Chain A
Amino acid sequence: MADISQQLKEQVLQARDSGQKLNIVGGGTKAFMGREADTDAGTLNVGEHTGIVDYHPVELVLTVRAGTPLSEIEATLAEEGQCLHFEPPHLGAASTIGGTLACNLSGPGRPWAGSVRDQVLGIRLLNGKGEHLRFGGQVMKNVAGYDVSRLQAGALGTLGVITEISMKVMPKPAASLTLVQEMGMDEVIHYMNSRAAEPKPITAACWVDGKVYLRLSGAKSGVEATAEKWSGEVMEEGDKFWQEVQDFHHEFFAGNDVPLWRFAVGSAAATPELEGNWFIDWAGSQRWFRGAGELKDLEPPARAAGGQVSLFRGGDRNGEVMHHQPEALKGIQRRIKTAFDPDNIFNPGRLYSWL
């Protein structure tokens, strides 16, 4: 538990003076994400900037330094019967909250519980000028100034160093159970979306290997009553299954030989017809695809499904890994980058080759 923000700031200022680039590293468990890191750049280690700064269970608000491991945060929350509602993927024991926000990673409950970005209330950020700034706040509603905090979600550290995060936490659900049944991929999109349109305590829905899994959580009576009405077998060790999905430990994700693509698309859109295997999560909004191919060939089907595709793991990480951006949006993003990091110090080329 240490506050090393001053040291981080000095390192940024030094890099700025000497024209050096910096790769921002927390727990180092997400090195596989984004484009290849710049090998000439130095390392800015946020992993030692740790500790819970403020936590008031009745406020449902936690403020924590960005390098704090998820496991430490979750242990503290569990003592009060609370949790990180967005179910952060643990890509390793060292995974930090800062990296989770920078990569905008959320688990299976995301369509109902919200994403990490949704729970963020405020941040502290070191920009490329070495200024340590504070945006947002520690309260649920705050509309003063632009939402710079949530802007960081998915930016992969290209806009600055997140040093501290205030976020909403939630009570752990009192009860939870999982229903499983066999179903073909052609039927499952309609099925999951129809279930999600019912006013029932559904909190996760995924499909893999010819089976659909629905999780119900909340008040025990509501969960049990719904399970009786809906089809499917109650799954033994349902929580274990969802934990595996959350942490990419499910066997679908194993191995690095076949690239893992992420399609973030309309929940009810038809699944693109491609050579390879699918894992459908988030009731259809997040579809994982394992198959060879190139980004430019996968973009049209992703667009047809109302969304975007990115290369999550494996494959060619020297080319682009994120869905192509139209010129006008490229211009805006370049200028935003310059607004935060005028000397292009942070994670150069990690998000896009042109940023």
Chain B
Amino acid sequence: MTTKPKVSKAELAEQFRAFIDPDYVITDDETMKPYECDGMSMYCEMPLLVVLPETVEQVQRVMRICNENAVPVVARGAGTGLSAGAMPNKEGVVLSLAKFNRIVEIDPLARTARLQPGVRNLAISEEAAQYGLYYGPDPSSQIACTIGGNVAENSGGVHCLKYGLTVHNILSVEMVTAEGDVVIVGSDGLDSCGMDLLALMTGSEGLLGVVTEVKVKLLPKPEVAQVVMAGFDDVQKGGDAVGGIISHGIIPGGLEMMDGHAIIAADDFAQAGYPRDAKALLLCEVDGTEEEVHEHIAQAEEVFRKLGATSVRTSQSEEERALLWKGRKSAFPAVGRISPDYYCMDGTIPRRHIAYVLTEMEKMSEEFGLRVANVFHAGDGNLHPLILFDANVPGEFERTEAFGSRILEMCVEVGGCITGEHGVGVEKIRQMAVQFNDEELQQFHDVKAAFDPAGILNPGKGVPALRFCQEYRSLEHKQHTHEHTEAAHG
């Protein structure tokens, strides 16, 4: 936690305006308003001021001034985050990296791209396409989210099982430390000497440094991709089919599952031709060489049929593949259409517990009186329950949050975790006490202090203060235990 800042807003703005274009030092409420929240709009706070530096040197000077004066700094990319990780601190500065939006260099032979942090995720693949290359991680916000934010959150997407997360797809980052030094973590090599600081930085939610450049790996675009859609009349069968594919030695490029509610909402929205009576739908995409895809698609169809699929359909053209995916990719807006608001959760579970978890969630849904639809990155066990609610009904968001908390706790109970890709931010900070004990949380605080002795980087996010954890655990009558309660459901 930071101590009280030593300077006033006016003094700080004046200091920044000495070296940053005054138009990019924002102090009035109206212009600052868009910065009050990120993609998790339920959590809002107005900052002291917003700066948009244009050079690394300016970022360094901002950090030095803030460090000397104990002013919190919240780095911000596109603001698409879903855990309020970029929510401003009311006594702090929002450091927007929006001006750092240049693709510095693409090396088609080495298959790498050097990027400023404000480059949009999708723009990387668009630019690399001329060389037959693309960037692997594709979070669903990829049209807007930036690579700097992807590093901060260790973003994934639908292709993680085969192609990995951000941490697997970057080579180095240049960052400005809390004290204003520029350091390069990682190198052009696939690893660097000593402890793996690059991994530590990835997913650190803006608590350890400000990323000012990223070097990513690019992959050759697969020759062919085909998708098999399989419907099941039972969630358990759908879950078993996921295991069946993997046991067969096939690692799909993408493997997605939707429950009955999500199937109908998505099909209404996209007219994708989904089996509307199915209780679970799998989309299994196989990519690779023509021969390989041909071989694996035939095997996948057979596995699904054997495991009781009520319908199996394979894309025969690019258009059909796009259509089958359209439903899945529009699942969120589709659900948005059937409810005034929805709250997207993000937990991870061992895949074998999917049927149990979905069944329990249905029970909770009744208990809380709130509908829930599920889309699931089945390949890697990442669950996105969408809780439907109406923010205009007093108390309904609070009930939604409570429902969400119960879901996350259940994820931990079955051996999973409270966030697969959205990060902890502000949103899940209380549930950190369920996944970690005090010694572990203290170790996180000690790591943070190694990078940021004054505690100015994104304070109050990611790792909870220990004094709040005891309260949360006792409040919820939770017994913190590290043993997974598999026995709970045999």
Report A's interface with B, CB cutoff 8 A. Answer: 56-61, 81, 104, 110-111, 114-115, 117-118, 127, 131, 133-135, 137-148, 150-156, 158-159, 170-172, 174, 190, 193-194, 196-201, 218-222, 224-226, 263-269, 282, 285-286, 305-308, 310, 322-323, 325-326, 328-329, 332-333, 335-336, 338-340, 351-352
Partner of B419 from A134, A143, A329 at Cβ < 8 Å: A143
Residues 99-130 of chain B: 1 if any A CB is under 8 Å from the residue's CB, otherwise 0? 00000000111111000000000000000000
| The residue from B164, B187, B200, B419 contacting A151, defined by CB atoms under 8 A apart | B200
* Contact yes or no, B107 A151, CB < 8 A: no
Contact with A along B161-193 (1 / 0, CB 8 A): 100110110000000010001110101111111
Task: Please state if B195 and A154 are interface contacts (CB–CB under 8 Å).
Answer: yes
The answer to whether B421 touches A140, judged by C-beta atoms less than 8 angstroms apart, is no
CB pair A225–B440 under 8 Å, yes or no, is no
What are some 24 contacts across the A-B interface (CB < 8 A)? A58-B243, A58-B351, A111-B190, A139-B348, A139-B350, A141-B380, A143-B154, A143-B419, A144-B419, A147-B203, A148-B443, A152-B196, A171-B250, A193-B110, A194-B109, A198-B220, A218-B292, A222-B292, A269-B188, A306-B188, A332-B197, A333-B197, A336-B195, A340-B443
| Interface pair B194/A351, CB less than 8 Å apart | yes
Q: Is the CB of B190 within 8 A of A115?
A: yes
CB atoms of A151 and B109 under 8 A apart:
no
Given A137-B416, A145-B436, 19 further pairs, Cβ under 8 A = A58-B242, A59-B352, A137-B417, A138-B350, A139-B349, A139-B417, A147-B202, A197-B220, A198-B220, A199-B289, A218-B292, A219-B295, A222-B289, A266-B187, A306-B187, A329-B185, A333-B195, A335-B450, A336-B195
Smallest distance from the beta carbon of A290 to chain B beta carbons, Å?
A: 19
* Contact in complex: B191, A146 (CB < 8 Å): no
Q: Which of A138, A141, A151, A308 contacts B420 (CB 8 A)?
A: A141
The answer to whether B247 and A58 touch across the interface, beta carbons within 8 angstroms, is: yes
In the complex the two chains form, what is the Cα distance from A24 to B258 in whole Å?
47
Q: Which residues of chain B are within 8 angstroms of A282 by Cβ–Cβ distance?
A: 190
Chain B residue contacts of A59, Cβ below 8 A: 243, 350-352, 381
Residues of B within 8 A of A138 (CB): 350, 415-416
Output the least CB separation between A135 and chain B (Å).
7
Residues of B within 8 A of A137 (CB): 348, 415-417
Say whether A286 contacts B189, CB under 8 Å. yes
Complex Cα distance A190/B108, Å? 11
Nearest first, the 8 closest Cβ-Cβ pairs linking A and B are: A306-B188, A264-B189, A222-B292, A266-B188, A150-B199, A58-B243, A307-B189, A335-B450
Determine the chain A residues whose CB is within 8 A of the CB of B164 once the complex forms: 114, 118
The answer, yes or no, to whether B204 is at the interface (CB within 8 Å) is: yes
Residues of A contacting B450 in the complex (Cβ-Cβ under 8 angstroms): 332, 335-336, 338-339
Q: Is the CB of B196 within 8 A of A154?
A: yes
Residue among A138, A143, A201, A338 facing the most chain B CB atoms (10 A cut-off): A143
Closest chain A residue to B299, Cβ basis: A219
Q: Tell me, rounded to whole Å, the shortest Cβ–Cβ distance linking B290 to chain A.
A: 8
Determine if A264 and B288 form an interchain contact, defined as CB atoms under 8 angstroms apart: no
Which residues of B lie under 8 Å from residue A170 when comparing CB positions?
251
**CB–CB A139/B440 < 8 A:** no
> Which residues of B are in contact with A by a Cβ distance under 8 Å?
107-112, 131-133, 153-154, 156, 160-161, 164-165, 167-168, 177, 181-183, 185, 187-197, 199-200, 202-204, 208, 220-223, 242-244, 246-247, 249-251, 288-292, 294-296, 348-352, 377, 379-382, 415-424, 428, 432, 435-436, 439-440, 443-444, 446-451, 453, 462-463, 482
Q: How far is the CB of B93 from chain A (nearest CB, A)?
A: 22
CB-nearest residue of chain A relative to B217?
Answer: A111
Residues of A within 8 A of B250 (CB): 171
Contact, CB under 8 Å: A139 / B110: no
Check A150 against B196 for contact (C-beta < 8 Å): yes
B168 & A114 in contact (Cβ 8 Å cutoff): yes
Asked whether A148 lies within 8 Å of B200 as measured between CB atoms, the reply is yes
In the complex, are the beta carbons of B154 and A153 less than 8 A apart?
no
Which B residues are in CB contact (< 8 Å) with A146? 200, 203-204, 208, 444, 447-448
Q: Which of B131, B197, B382 contacts A140 (CB 8 A)?
A: B382
* Chain A residues closer than 8 Å to B418, beta-carbon distance: 144
**Chain B residues with Cβ under 8 A from A110's Cβ?**
190
Please measure, in the bound complex, the distance between the C-alpha atom of A318 and the C-alpha atom of B136, giving whole angstroms. Answer: 42
Residue of A nearest to B243 (CB): A58
Nearest CB to that of A334 among chain B residues? B450
Would A174 and B177 count as touching, CB distance under 8 A?
Answer: no
Give the docked Cα–Cα distance between A158 and B412 (Å): 30
Interface centre among A134, A137, A170, A340 (most CB of B within 10 A): A137
Tell me which of B107, B191, B350, B422 contacts A61 (CB under 8 A). B350
The distance from the CB of B150 to the nearest CB of chain A, in whole angstroms, is 11
- Asked if A286 contacts B195 (CB within 8 A), the reply is no
Which of A142, A156, A159 contacts B348 (CB under 8 A)?
A: A142
User: A264 CA to B294 CA in the complex, in Å?
Assistant: 37
Q: Which residues of B contact A127 (CB under 8 A)?
A: 443
- Interchain CA distance A219-B252 in the complex, whole Å: 13
Cβ 8 A contact of B447, one of A218, A264, A339 = A339
Q: CB < 8 Å: which of A111, A133, A153, A310 contacts B439?
A: A133
Instruction: Report chain B residues within 8 Å CB of A198.
Output: 220
Q: How far is the CA of A143 from the CA of B449 in the complex (A)?
A: 19
Nearest CB of chain A from residue B485's CB, rounded to whole Å: 14
**Chain B residues whose CB sits within 8 angstroms of the CB of A153 once the complex forms:** 191, 195-196, 199
Q: Measured between C-beta atoms, what is the minimum distance from B243 to chain A in Å? A: 3
Residue contact B195 to A158, C-beta cutoff 8 Å: yes
A285 to B204, CA, bound (A): 27
Chain A residue numbers with a CB within 8 Å of B348 are: 137, 139-142
